[in-house]
Structure formats: structure tokens, C-alpha cells
Amino acid sequence: MSKQPAKKKSTADRTTRPRGMRDITGEEFYTYQGFFEKAAEVALYYGFQPIETPMVEKEDVFTSSIGESTDIVEKEMYALKSKGGESLVLRPEGTAGIVRAYIEHGMHTLPQPVMLYYHGPFFRHEKPQRGRWRQFYQFGLETLGTEKSIADAVVIRVIVTILQEMGIKNLCVRINSIGDKECRVAYIKALTHYYKKHLGEVCANCRQRIKTNPLRLLDCNDPNCQKLKEEAPEMVSYLSESSKKHFKEVLEHLDTADTPYMIDHTLVRGLDYYTRTVFEVVAHEEECDDTPDDLPDEATDDETPNEETTTPENEDNDETPPQERPDNQEETPKQLALAGGGRYNDLAKNLGSKRDIPSIGAAIGVDRIVTLPDFVPHHPRIIKKPKIYFIQIGFEAKLKSLEVIELLRKAKIPVLQSLSKDKLSIQLAMAEKKAIPYTLILGQKEVIDGTIIVRDMDSHSQDTVKIEELIEYLKKK
Ligand code: AMP
């Protein structure tokens, strides 16, 4: 059979960006750059060091860590086959790649814990909506190689400090402990038992989740499921003694560091790899700091499930395709998390590490922060706005211009210029339009004389200066 000729794409197809992705230029670029620089500075003060991992990882790095039945793995990963047949994925989050790097480079031989920060683009094929992009930017922290509760508190504190440095007010850390693998088995039994009793009231997504990912039942935004959630068993009642002790210590650290928090028993976060501490940072949460005095000491057995209750381990796989988040379930501004994270004590072993690498990490969603009304941009170190416009009139001047720019660069004086325009009036108008205070004017006569004209754009006064004296002259200005 002859091959059908490929349908010709319209020009518009070729000249528009993929859905949910953006070009970041001009002021916006500087805003992001300033964010990353300020956040890195805060992290460095607390002892975090930079790391950059590839934007593409082997698919297994994510499927074996994030969990097969999570939203990210089920429907949001940008997966590709390389020419060599490798299954690769555009990174949907930062943690798994960093743990992979820790194992690959034998970072367990370094003094522990290893504290790292990173930033860059991440990719999830989500439904684009307010605050959700398919390519989005995160600034993240990971502390690898310690179980200590102070590590959890430091990550949370640094995340909050960065957000405060960005001017964000009324921050609240919503925090929970989802315990270890062991205590979670009993809790999941209780949870599935409870939801099965209310099967008729839950949304279609949650009917799936009962079988595939019961913890995510607590994450649902459907109004009916929200109501059910209020009466659902709470993880805190199922925590082992050591998990409970850890949680209490983390809260004590937060109290001592005056970090506003609120225990949220329904917070579970979307990924399988979390153990113990999970948290999100939100803004404008009125009831923040309204925390109970203590955690319960004994596990309650009100919700002890009967024998038939199924756990995720013995549940059949269901073939029903995952469903898109319906439109009426968009997150409200109050619910939009600015940052989120948690402890992941088992992730390294899931990735193939022979040893446990107990760790804690978190990431800030930069795209959300920079659009908040409170947000205060930081100026990046790279030069935003040159104070000099360099006008060159004619070919000889353009030839000489590179030599002059190099002199200026070595003296750390940046310029704007027009590579294509020759006329003085046009170039002066361009400098004026950009409100640049000084222009350098180089014409044929100046090239022959070895001079250059410096013009003050406000007063319109100008001086002719020898090129070798130019830097000294400008520095006086
Ligand atoms: P997560 O990696 O899911 O824990 O997300 C950490 C933070 O990244 C969230 O609190 C959001 O602020 C941000 N974030 C996650 N997904 C997106 C997205 N698709 N678009 C924009 N920001 C996102």
C-alpha cells in the first residue's frame, strides 16, 4: 500500500508554542533570574550547595519512585524514545533525579547529610489552567542522608524564608505525617474500609483511587468527597511511636523557629515516595497556627477494617483509563500551593540503592510566586539596563566598534547598540526611546582621529574624547 503524503501543516502551526508552555523574555526573564539568584543565596547561607541534573532521565527513575498509579506517571509524563531505543522522560520533578545522582556518584561517602539546591524547568502534561503550566519552574532543596527531624525543619524554614524574601505575606505551612510503610498499611486498610462504606457518594475518580491509590482519596476536590473527607480516619492515629516522635519533634522545631503552621490530617501529596513529614506552603490561610496542643498518644481502633478489606497490594489492576480533572474541580486561589515537599526515606531503595538514604526535600513553584500581588522582584546580578547606547555611523565606524565595545566590556560597562542602522538620527531616537542617559557616537571622522563623542541625552551637551581616555572619562560620569 502506498504511504499517504503527510498533511502539510499551516504556518500558524509552526509559529506557535506548544500548549501550556511559554517564552520568557524582557522583564519577566529578569524576574525569574532575580528569583533564582535570591533563593540560591538564602539556600547557600543555610549550607545548601548547587546541583544541576539532566532535564531528561531514564523513565524508570520516575516510574520506580513516584509510583505507577500517581497522576504524574499515569498521565502527565512527557515520555520519548531516543534514536537508540532508550525510554526517556522530560523530568516532571526534581527529587528522583537528584537521588539518582546521589547514588550514581556515591555521595554517601561525603559528610552526611548532603544538602543540595536546584532550579530549572519541569514538565507535566497537565490540563493548562491558572497556575498550572506544562513547562513550569521550580526552585528546590534536598537534604539527603539523615533521619533527623531538624533536617525537615530546616527545609521547611528555608522554603518559608525564601517566600518571605519574595515579599509573600500570610504564609502558612500545612503539615501532616503519613508515617512509614509499616504504619501506613493499617491506615490504608481503615481508609479503604471507610470509603467502601460510602461508595455511592464518592466521585468516579475516587472509585478508582480506592483500588489504585487510596491515600489520594484525601486529595479530591469534588464537593461530595470533600464532605466525606471530614469524617475519614486520620493518619495521625495510626502512626508508630517513632513516626509520632519524629512528627512531634518537627512541630517543636517549627514552634521554636516561629514558623506558622497548621496540621492538616488530609494532606497526603500526590507522590508515592513520601514517608512521615509531608507539607505544603500556602498564602492567606486565616486559620493558620490554630494547631491542636498535642498529637493523640494511642492509635484509635474505631475504624479497624474487617477481614475482606482490600489493600493496594492485593487489589486487581483495573483497566479503566485515568480521567482528566473536570473543569469544576479547578483549584481555588486559596488552595494553590506555593511550595510542597516531604520526607522520602524509601525512595533510594526503590531506585536500586543498597543502603537506605533517609531524606527530605521541597520545591517552590516559581511561576505561581511571581504572579502574586505581594511579590517583590529582586534585581538579578546580570545587567538589566545599560546606561550607554553606542551609535555607529557608517561601515568604518561599525568596523571600529568591536574594539571599543571590548574596551568597555573589560571595564564592565555594558552598551546597547543597533547593528543594522547607520543614520545618526534613527539611532539617537532609539536611545531616547529606551531612556538611556548617555550615547557614544562614532563617525568616520572620529575613527580617523581616534576619538569618540560622548553625549548627555538629558542636557544634549557633548564632549569629544580620545578613545584611550574613554573609560576614565565615563567612570567620572
Ligand atoms: P510538586 O512537585 O507537585 O510537589 O509541586 C511543588 C510546587 O510546584 C507546587 O506547590 C506548585 O507551586 C508548583 N507546581 C507544580 N506543578 C505545577 C504546574 N503544572 N505549573 C505550575 N506550577 C506547578
Q: What is the mean pLDDT of residues 375-404?
A: 92
Residue 131 predicted with pLDDT over 90:
no
> 381 CA to middle of ligand 1, Å?
26
pLDDT of residue 299: 39
Task: Choose which residue among 78, 136, 137, 331 to substitute to test ligand 1 binding: the one with the highest number of ligand atoms within 8 A of its C-beta.
Answer: 136
Q: What is the mean pLDDT of residues 158-176?
A: 97
pLDDT tens digits for range 225-239: 988 898 999 999 999
Higher-confidence residue of 406 and 200: namely 406
Q: Supply the residue whose CA is at minimum distance from atom 13 of ligand 1.
A: 365
Q: Which of 73-77, 286-290, 415-419 has the lowest mean pLDDT?
A: 286-290
Q: What is the mean pLDDT of residues 333-338?
A: 69
Percent of the chain with pLDDT over 70: 88
Task: Choose which residue among 73, 367, 375 to substitute to test ligand 1 binding: the one with the highest number of ligand atoms within 8 A of its C-beta.
Answer: 367
Q: Of ligand 1's atoms, which has the minimum distance to the CA of residue 124?
A: 19
Nearest alpha carbon to residue 439 among 429, 449, 447: 429
Q: Supply the residue whose CA is at minimum distance from atom 20 of ligand 1.
A: 132
pLDDT of residue 12: 75
pLDDT of residue 164: 97
> 477 CA to middle of ligand 1, Å?
47
> 6 CA to middle of ligand 1, Å?
37
Residue 293 predicted with pLDDT over 80:
no
> 92 CA to middle of ligand 1, Å?
10
pLDDT of residue 331: 44
In a 13 Å sphere around the CA of 311, the CA atoms on its Cβ side amount to 13
CB 251 within 8 A of CB 220: no
Q: Supply the residue whose CA is at minimum distance from atom 11 of ligand 1.
A: 365
> 37 CA to middle of ligand 1, Å?
19
Q: Of ligand 1's atoms, which has the minimum distance to the CA of residue 138?
A: 8
Q: Supply the residue whose CA is at minimum distance from atom 17 of ligand 1.
A: 132
> 365 CA to middle of ligand 1, Å?
5
pLDDT of residue 326: 34
Cβ-in-10-Å burial (0-12, 13-18, 19+) of 49 comes to: exposed
Residue 268 predicted with pLDDT over 80:
yes
Q: What is the mean pLDDT of residues 311-326?
A: 33
Burial per residue of 153-173, b for 16 or more beta-carbon CB atoms within 10 angstroms, e otherwise: bbbbbbbbbbbeebebeebbb
CB 389 within 8 A of CB 417: yes
Q: Supply the residue whose CA is at minimum distance from atom 15 of ligand 1.
A: 365
Q: What is the mean pLDDT of residues 157-173?
A: 97
pLDDT of residue 215: 87
Contacts of 196 (CB under 8 A, 6+ apart): 210, 309
> 269 CA to middle of ligand 1, Å?
11
Rounded distance, CA 266 to CA 451, Å?
72
> 252 CA to middle of ligand 1, Å?
27
> 145 CA to middle of ligand 1, Å?
25
* pTM listed for this prediction: 0.86
Residues with CB under 6 A from ligand 1: 93, 124, 126, 131-133, 136, 138, 337-340, 363, 365, 367-368
Higher-confidence residue of 320 and 338: namely 338
114 bridge partner residues: 144
pLDDT of residue 205: 87
